[in-house]
Amino acid sequence: MKRILTYENELDYDSIYDWLREKMRFPRSIVAALRSGEQDYRVNGKKPVLWQPLPAGSRIQIILEDRKSSAFAPVNLPLNIIYEDEDILLIDKPAGMPSHPSMNHQKDTLANAVLYYYQKQGIPFVFRIANRLDMDTSGLVAVSKNSLAAARVKQMIDKRQIHREYLCIVEGSFSADSSLAKRDFAEMRYDADGQMIGGRIWAPISRREGSVLERRVNASDGQTALTDFEIIQEGAKYSLLRVWLGTGRTHQIRVHMNYLGHPLPADYLYHPVYQDISRQPLHSAKLRFPHPVSGRQMCFESRLPTDMRHLLDNFHS
Tell me the torsion sign for CA atoms 102, 155, 133, 222: positive
The β-bridge partners of 81 are 91
The β-bridge partners of 190 are 196
Helix (H, G, I), strand (E, B) or coil at 138: strand
Nearest to 167 by CA among 311, 314, 308, 317: 308
Residues 6+ apart with CB under 8 A from 65: 1, 2, 3, 39, 40
SS3 sequence of 231-244? EEEECCCEEEEEEE
How far is Cα 56 from Cα 121, in angstroms, rounded to an integer? 38
Q: Which backbone phi and psi does 242 adopt, to 5 degrees?
A: -105, 130
Nearest to 102 by CA among 146, 134, 66: 134
Q: Which residues participate in catalysis according to the annotation?
A: 134
